[in-house]
Homo-oligomer: A and B are copies of this chain.
């Protein structure tokens, strides 16, 4: 029973994590939409039905990708933001967000699906991302719901920019790095200026 606690399985067998990781490589290289089990099985040197021993079909793979993608993004943001505060922290966060999405476009897209209530991994990872944003914004001493509003604005801006960039939605050739920097700076200016809140903090 507990004999297997300290030993690697010698069978060339797969497990769920391996399948999901392989799928992640595929979607980053080929796109999320064209993901299919035949290609995934071939990459793992296995026949398609064998995958069902480890994941619940194609949708199970997608659920796993969502959780993995959100977790990886969270780790990346955490690493970028640790030890930084204020404007420096916000810029570091925003740059890490964009860099991650561009390095892992398929996995990033996969993480944006509506979370099923039973996908607790995904939900937890989403909450951690939100927590990091809030932590970086903490120095601005936002009152009440203002911190939530600001965190949502920052996430929306980062996600929206990257998502439009990847979708080719910015027609013009004007430098995208400069636009992103400027966009983040606009948000920061408001936070520093402090006068954007409708219901002004009581005191």
Contacts and interface: CB of A to CB of B under 8 A. Distances in A.
B187 A186 contact: yes
A149 to B, nearest CB: 4
A152 B130 contact: no
Interface in A56-102: none
Given A163-B163, A187-B190, A189-B196, A152 B168 contact: no
A160 interface: yes
A73 B120 CA distance: 35
A193 to B, nearest CB: 5
A172 interface: yes
A41 interface: no
A159 interface: yes
A172 to B, nearest CB: 6
6 contacts: A113-B167, A153-B186, A186-B186, A186-B196, A188-B196, A193-B193
Given A127-B171, A152-B179, A159-B163, 6 more contacts: A114-B168, A146-B182, A148-B172, A149-B174, A149-B182, A156-B160
